Structure 1
């Protein structure tokens, strides 16, 4: 199997860098005339895939909106993931997992092992326990040709104080993460590698953050409902052309919730996001 980086690069070239988020909240399902149930959540994801004709670089289901239904919700996200990957759509599960040694490895096995029922292409993670604590998770991901996106600078304003706090060596927490992620990616070779980063499209320090991650794909949340535009991504992350993925979730319903409405929105956003290549 090609590496995650190679697979994602190919999809970006084929379809555009747009990452489509699946966030089936109660309010969103209601706006689409779907029931607030696991079946409704699955149907919404399926509707988006059909609207896109399965021609997107990355599908990002938000795990929490499925987990809120318990085991039936997990079954729904499993079915959605299986459907997407069967049609060769890459799936990034937005679960923001992160823990120490054996526990972190167990999380990774749940997404990357050969026996899991929730096999995905990549997962989002957080590293409040330290990036080194995530190494067992990273080891399993790279062996499975999977990807990991580490939250470095989030799009929510509450994260700024912690992420820009200064460490004893003078680096901010975010700068330290950039350096450590890049060191790990370099061990895998030249070019883009399997450890990506989450850098909010609303962050005023995004340019410097992204520049310090030269071998990482960048997931850029904050486009749409949080106020940023794809043009903002272009302005704030000029060094990330070809590797930045603007993420749009709620805003895919800008023209309505029917398949034809979503298709119109996705095609427009893909056209705009090609400016990032």
Structure 2
């Protein structure tokens, strides 16, 4: 298998950098005429994939919306992930895992072990137990050609105070994480590395943060329902062209919830997202 960075670059070149979120909340399933069950969540994900005719670079299932159904939700998440990857669509599982020692190893094995039914291409993590605590996690992901997206600057306003807090050396928490991610990517090789970052499209310091992450793919949530547009991503992260992934979730239903409606919306957003190349 080729590296995560190589696979994602190829997918972006083929389809656009648009990342489509799969967020089957109770209200979203209701708006789509689907039952608020694990099966309804799977049908929604499948509807999105089929609407796009599997011509997507990457999808981002929000794991919480599947976990809420217990074991049946995990089962359909496994099925959706397998379906997507079998049709050439990469999967970024949004679980925001982060822990230490053997627990971090266990999380990584769950999502990156070749034998795991949850096997994904990439996973979101947080580093608030210390970036170094993610080392075993990163090692397993990299050994299996997976990608890791570390939350650096989230799109929610509640995160600003913590993420912009200053350390003793004068760096903000976000800047410190950006530097450590860049240094860790450099140990893998030159060019874009397997450790990406989450930087909200609504953040006023998005450009500065993106500049501090020159070897990382950047997942940019906040497009659509949270108020940002793809033009905002282009304006706020000009140095990240070719490596920023605008994430759209609820907004894929902007023109309606039928397969045809979703196809129209996704195609239009893909064309807009190509401006980020």
The DSSP-based 3-state class of the residue aligned with 2:118 is coil
Is 2:20 aligned against 1:20?
yes
- Residue 270 of structure 2 corresponds to which residue in structure 1? 270
The answer on 1:57 being equivalent to 2:32 is no
The CA deviation at 1:115 is 1.8
Structure 1 counterpart SS, 2:99: coil
Residue 39 of structure 1 corresponds to: 39
Q: Distance in 1 between matches of 2:161 and 2:74?
A: 34
Matched, 1:208 2:208: yes
User: TM-score, structure 1 length as denominator?
Assistant: 1.00
Mapping of 1:231-270 within 5 angstroms?
231-270=231-270
Equivalent residue, structure 1, for 2:178? 178
- 1:204-248 CA-partner distances (Å, limit 9, x unpaired): 000010000000000000000000000000000000000000000
- Per the alignment, in what secondary structure is the counterpart of residue 165 of structure 2? coil
Instruction: Report how far residue 185 of structure 1 moved.
Output: 0.2
The Cα of 1:191 is off from its aligned counterpart by 0.3
User: 3-state DSSP class of the match of 2:158?
Assistant: helix
Any stretches of 5+ residues in structure 1 without a counterpart?
none
Structure 2: unaligned runs, 5 residues or longer? none
Aligned to 1:138: 138
Partner of 1:101: 101
Q: What SS is found at the alignment partner of 1:202?
A: coil
- What is the match of residue 160 of structure 1? 160
3-state SS of paired residue (1:91): strand
> 1:101 Cα deviation (Å)?
1.1
2:114 & 2:175 partners in 1: Cα distance? Answer: 35
Write the distance in 2 (CA, Å) between the matches of 1:57 and 1:218.
14
SS at match of 1:221: strand
Task: Look up the match of 1:66.
Answer: 66
The alignment yields a C-alpha RMSD, in angstroms, of 0.4
Q: Distance in 2 between matches of 1:84 and 1:58?
A: 9
**Structure-2 separation of matches of 1:188 and 1:139:** 11
Q: Distance in 2 between matches of 1:170 and 1:229?
A: 32
SS at match of 2:226: coil
SS of 1:262's equivalent?
helix
Distance in 2, Cα, partners of 1:160 & 1:197 = 16
Q: How far apart are the structure 2 equivalents of 1:15 and 1:145?
A: 21
Kindly state the Cα deviation for residue 38 of structure 1 after the two structures are TM-superposed.
0.3
Query: 2:128 maps to what in 1?
Result: 128
Aligned residues: 277
Query: Residue in 2 aligned with 1:117?
Result: 117
For 1:222, what is the secondary structure of its paired residue? strand
Could you tell me how far 1:114 is from its partner in structure 2?
2.1
